[in-house]
Structure 1
Amino acid sequence: MKKIILFSVFAGLAHAQAPAGYYNAANGLSGAPLKTALSSIISSGHQDKGYNGLWTAYKTTDIDKDYENDGSILDIYSEKPVGADPYKYTPGSNQCGTYSTEGNCYNREHVIPQSLFNQSSPMVADIHFIRATDGKVNGMRSNYPYGKVGSATFTSKNGSKLGSSSSSGYSGTVFEPIDEFKGDVARMIFYFVTRYESKLSSFASGNMLGSSAFPGLQTWELNTLLAWHNQDPVSQAEIKRNNASYTYQGNRNPFIDNPAYVNQIWGSQQPTGDAQAPTTATGLNVSGKTANSISLSWNASTDNVGVTSYTIYMNGSLKTTANTTSATVSGLSPSTTYNFYVVAKDAAGNSSSNSATVSGTTNAGTTTPSTDCASENFETIPTSSVSNYTTRTWTNNGISWNATDARTDQTINAKAITVRNGSLTSGSSGNGIGSLTVTTQLKFSGTNGTFDVKVNGTTVGTIPYSTSVATTTINNINISGNVTVSLVNTSASNRVAIDDLTWTCYSGGAARQAQAIASETATPNFKISPNPVTNQEITVKGDIQNVKKAEIYTLQGKVMQTIHQPFKNGNSIRTQNLGQGVYILKLDGVTMQFLAK
């Protein structure tokens, strides 16, 4: 077979195509840790060019330079490695379109069907698993998984088949590419379940995907793809496509650059049955407490294939599930003792024995007043375009919320809001703030960092975050009156999930209040009218003659404009090209929000 000849020539070349040091973070790893390290590497630098961008990409990524070498579209569903192709497509001029038979047009074939991830970005436009293929054959393949066909109901002109499965462990309908491209398909799927391993639990399976980060595939499909990967080594055409895709999209398929990663992660073909349970988790301990939550950590279990998750039980009942060796259980009562144990699970559904039980007692409630003034669990966050980073607004428990550069598809304790280069900001809330508690976790790739916590635009503390779920409390904030609370990500690229945000009320404490922005009862009676403001002009009513300085801030605390003696010529301030959005006007020690239109 052509690829076997090419493999000996290009095996060393494949690794050399990646930039120096590109895979350093994966050195020395194997199994699930290697898969996770590769996920972080190939997520970094990934540029979503949009679904229509694929048409442009195909002019460099899916061109035949190794079979006929004629500049036509290299279609794995119609290419004949030996002999003339049944038809050819000219890049850009034969795009679907409509089709009724083979050879009408080419379109965009998602090797992982886009219906499994609800056509969401960035998956829907990821060049590494979306090939230019004949429309008719693509339509016949539909959403079926890949496997070995026993009895074919459709055969394309190059020999690709659709029919009943003869792959061990699955009897449904499958699609089988020709031998020349079986390894290509396998490595595209391995890329997908690695790049998007943290999302797999939210995807449909399509009888192929697993529901956990490791192994990421159903056992029968994994066995089939491992066999195809070993049977059909990396070709020169795959190497060239990987390089062109890197130029276009900014990330690579590691299983083309380093084919050995496949067996280092998943091993050689596993038996179709896995009856061995993971080992019992050890070292369970209480790692943190608040009045309403207890954080737990433990040592990792081991398994012959791989541990996929841990279930956490409280007082004998299932409470939550974690993919890492830590978890936070929230919604607890102050000064109350709870008992916990952990069970490890693998992809085949085998469960370990219960871990040792550990007891934890929540902290006492805060001193009077101790009621929560705000409690946000993010269960009502917007659900449209959940993986896109954009501005999200919603209202819950009487408080409005605004999250910038945020997505809504990640979880900690159920739903969470994930902020990248942005912030989470509340609307104005009465009764002040005493202490603030929040749970965070760094998602995808990145480094440990912090959120700045701002009350009425002034920083009152920081919230750390890392890849482990952590609950942090800032005590003694003690600001009375109306408050607006912001959590501002100090990183421009870390993607951090926020969950279970609460703060207690506060009505006293003049010493701390004097250090922060003065409360409304102690400040002049200023009012922005009209609000929203238009024409880049803010009009302020009230006793403004003695105001010495005006400052305009974004909700993230960035100073946009400073004006000394702002009202010496009237009661209006001219702004400097503010975009549409919410801002803070600070007049000496008094702050007010306004909306610019």
Structure 2
Amino acid sequence: MKHIYFIVTLLISTVAFSQIPTGYYDSASGTGFALKTQLKDIIDNNNDGLATEFIAQDLGYSALYVTYELSDVDLYYENNGTLLDMYSEGVMQNPDNTSTNLPDAYEYTYGINQDDGTMGTAEGQRYNREHTIPQSSFNSGSPMRNDAHFVIPSDKYVNGQRGNLPYGFVDTTTQFDEYSNGTKRGENTTTGIGSSYNGDVFEPIDEFKGDIARMFFFFATRYEDQISGFNYVMFDGSSNQAIDQPFLDLLYNWHHNDPVSQREIDRNNAIFTRQDNRNPFIDNPQFVFEIWQSSLSVDEFQNQNIVKMYPNPANGSFVNIDSNQDLVAEVYDILGKKVKVQTINANQKQLNISGLSKGVYLVKLTSENGSITKKLIKQ
């Protein structure tokens, strides 16, 4: 018990002195992928001549366990100083983005249940280090392998079950595996955003989907100059967009639907005290849209001059739809659930999106001559 109290006290005192330094993001003034490069310069391990320069530190693989004693302590759910594992923490995210605690099936105490090369054949035996971007994608190279911003403490068994699977939505109408807190492994859903990927995926619970997304955005930025050489199904082989389109749409929605939490802020601060770099997408969530806007959507779409929808992205409550035919507009959320139906005709040429949350949607426009389906961004 003394060990747990010591960790809690140390974390509180450390976080209190590790906020965003004055001027840290002053050089991040661009837009699009130029902004991503500017952020890379801020958080990488090169001396880029910035007025406020912090050089990212590679502390080595074993140091991750030390970092976790500051960055991944449960002060938010049971609030008992045990390890916070996103794959076993019992918590349910409510529609208003508050959380309801659920009983944990098991808990880990730092140092006592750490992986020693044994066990891990079932949940609750050992914890180890989970690379949200698998090590195999970058051949276990450093500093990637040792970067706590995307390498998280995890139950050893569940970590092994995930393997190098991409993240996605599991199709619960087929056979799938479910772990103690509702985390799933199974076939990717065939509807909604990201449905174009065919294969098994791994789905964290809603409470931590945004956390995972912001880790991916960090990785694509921090390792921008190397990522085109990394081999992973969630990457597109480029240094700019970096994340393959179906997964970019998916992660963007996760980012919006699960906003930055106090837990993420504290984790970011704690890692900064160890590695001397930060996750910009926790400090400023708007960076995601500012960087990837051109990849997330187009300004308008047309079908042989029959239909036109704009603006896209949409910042307000309405989208204009111009057509020489009557249309039925059906709006689908990220899981393919129909969330709105509206008739578009000469008397009503605007699609009301005021009731939709920010994120990516599919809009199916149907006339007597056929239908088209395109992506819509509500920003």
TM-score by length of 2: 0.66
CA distance in 2, matches of 1:60, 1:124: 19
Structure-to-structure mapping, 1:54-69, within 5 angstroms? 54-69=64-79
CA contact (8 A) 1:163 1:175 kept: yes
Over the matched positions of the two proteins, sequence identity in percent amounts to: 50
Structure-to-structure mapping, 1:45-124, within 5 angstroms? 45-81=55-91, 82-97=101-116, 98=118, 99-124=120-145
Which whole-Å deviations, capped at 9, do the CAs of 1:431-477 have from their partners, x for residues lacking one? xxxxxxxxxxxxxxxxxxxxxxxxxxxxxxxxxxxxxxxxxxxxxxx
Instruction: Look up the SS of the partner of 2:90 in the other structure.
Output: coil
| CA distance 1:215–1:185, shift in 2 (3 Å) | same
2:220 paired residue number: 193
CA distance in 2, matches of 1:275, 1:116: 35
**Following TM superposition, by how much is the alpha carbon of 1:168 offset from its aligned partner in structure 2, in angstroms?**
2.0
Which whole-Å deviations, capped at 9, do the CAs of 1:3-50 have from their partners, x for residues lacking one? xxxxxxxxxxxxx931010011102x1110011100111104110000
4+ aligned runs moved over 3 Å, structure 1:
none
Letter in 1 for 2:212: V
CA distance in 2, matches of 1:128, 1:264: 21
CA contact (8 A) 1:226 1:269 kept: no
CA contact (8 A) 2:187 2:201 kept: yes
**Following TM superposition, by how much is the alpha carbon of 1:210 offset from its aligned partner in structure 2, in angstroms?**
2.2
1:553 paired residue number: none
Structure-to-structure mapping, 1:335-346, within 5 angstroms? none
Which whole-Å deviations, capped at 9, do the CAs of 1:46-79 have from their partners, x for residues lacking one? 1000001111111111111111111000000000
CA contact (8 A) 2:166 2:233 kept: yes
| CA distance 1:152–1:122, shift in 2 (3 Å) | farther
Judging by fraction of residues, say which structure has more strand. Answer: 1
CA contact (8 A) 1:78 1:157 kept: yes
2:236 paired residue number: 210
Q: CA-atom RMSD, angstroms?
A: 2.3
CA contact (8 A) 1:146 1:174 kept: yes
Q: Are residues 1:125 and 2:146 paired?
A: yes
Letter in 1 for 2:105: P
1:234 paired residue number: 260
| CA distance 1:120–1:271, shift in 2 (3 Å) | same
Q: Are residues 1:173 and 2:200 paired?
A: yes
CA distance in 1, matches of 2:175, 2:222: 32
CA contact (8 A) 1:100 1:136 kept: yes
Q: Are residues 1:259 and 2:280 paired?
A: no
Structure 2: any 5+ residue segments left out of the alignment?
Answer: 1-17, 46-54, 92-100, 303-311, 314-379
CA distance in 2, matches of 1:197, 1:72: 34
| CA distance 1:259–1:152, shift in 2 (3 Å) | farther
**Following TM superposition, by how much is the alpha carbon of 1:153 offset from its aligned partner in structure 2, in angstroms?**
2.1
CA contact (8 A) 2:170 2:176 kept: no
TM-score by length of 1: 0.42
CA distance in 2, matches of 1:260, 1:71: 31
CA distance in 2, matches of 1:163, 1:271: 29
1:40 paired residue number: 41
**Following TM superposition, by how much is the alpha carbon of 1:152 offset from its aligned partner in structure 2, in angstroms?**
4.9
CA distance in 1, matches of 2:237, 2:252: 19
CA contact (8 A) 1:59 1:92 kept: no
Q: Which has the higher contact order (CA 8 A, sep 6+)?
A: 2
Q: Are residues 1:247 and 2:247 paired?
A: no
State the aligned residue count: 261
CA contact (8 A) 1:149 1:164 kept: yes
**Following TM superposition, by how much is the alpha carbon of 1:201 offset from its aligned partner in structure 2, in angstroms?**
1.7
Which whole-Å deviations, capped at 9, do the CAs of 1:136-166 have from their partners, x for residues lacking one? 1101110001111113521110000011112
Judging by fraction of residues, say which structure has more helix. Answer: 2
